Amino acid sequence: MDFLTISNIHHTYFTKDSAKTALEDITLSIKEGEFVSFLGPSGCGKTTLLSIISGLITPTSGKVEIENKPVNRTHSSIGYMLQEDYLFPWKTIKENILVGLKTMNILDGENEKKALSLLKEIGLSGVEESYPKQLSGGMRQRAALVRTLTTNPKILLLDEPFSALDFQTKLKLEDLVSTTLKDYNKTALLVTHDIGEAIAMSDKIFLLSANPGKVAKVFDIPKELKDLLPFEARQHPEYSSLFQEIWKELDQFEA
């Protein structure tokens, strides 16, 4: 059974003087535990689609369901991780990672213990009483990931979460996030402009064309790449050939 189903999504932005269709007839399904990426040229509606999946935007038509239940903006099964970490600067890291639990009124001793344990698992032991400004960008994004995972969402939506980081930190975080999500069997959807990132991290890539955004092609990542950590996958011969194939497809859209 498919875990997430997106059926006939169509979305148009209306203004006083015009109407612009951002997405047209988006239909796809994702299995539990899958990591999928959305790639495409600027303006193809990737972030709009993520916002619709999260329930933040109601599509003009079509529906999104998780385990056959419609999503909405208060859906507790969805976690969101953005390019900016959005940690509260006046709160400690411990206070920041517990925000979601507190907001959902499920902060108790057991959940707090799990959150702090995850903080250590992800390599942030000893920073509980530090403030965000005292941490590097990569450390803050790790803390943001912990904050997202503490509420135990079924699906994580990742909107270019590594794009503001330096390349070395980005590669390390790709490995860390990939391993963590697999360990916890989380379903993840990544929006990215980075072909290499999509190949290295994903089980499947949906390539969108623009004006309006449509699913142009679907790439299933070979098992020999999926079984590797993202950094290792980048060194594999299959990676290069798939990169070139996707690059050529994208180049047609930009032409």
Q: What is the C-alpha separation between 119 and 95, in angstroms, rounded?
A: 12
Q: Which of 227, 157, 167, 149 is nearest to 192 (CA)?
A: 157
- Please give the pLDDT value at position 104: 86
Tell me what pLDDT residue 73 has. Answer: 63
Domains of the chain: 4-77+157-254 (3.40.50.300), 87-152 (no CATH)
Q: In this predicted structure, what is the pLDDT of residue 163?
A: 85
User: Of 41, 42, 46, whose CA–CA distance to 26 is shortest?
Assistant: 46
Encode the chain (255 residues) as per-residue pLDDT tens digits.
689 999 999 999 988 888 889 999 999 999 999 999 999 988 899 999 999 998 889 999 999 999 888 887 665 688 888 888 899 999 999 999 999 899 888 889 899 999 999 898 888 989 999 999 999 999 999 899 999 889 888 899 999 988 888 899 889 889 988 998 998 899 999 999 999 999 999 999 999 998 899 999 999 999 999 999 999 999 999 999 999 999 999 888 765
| Among candidate residues 143, 157, 134, 136, the one with its CA nearest the CA of residue 73 | 157
CA distances from 150 to 82, 117, 159 (A): 16, 10, 19
- How confident is the model at residue 231, as a pLDDT? 95
The amino acid at residue 223 is K
Q: What is the pLDDT of residue 74?
A: 60
The tokens describing 122, both together, are 């992800």
pTM, rounded to two decimals: 0.90
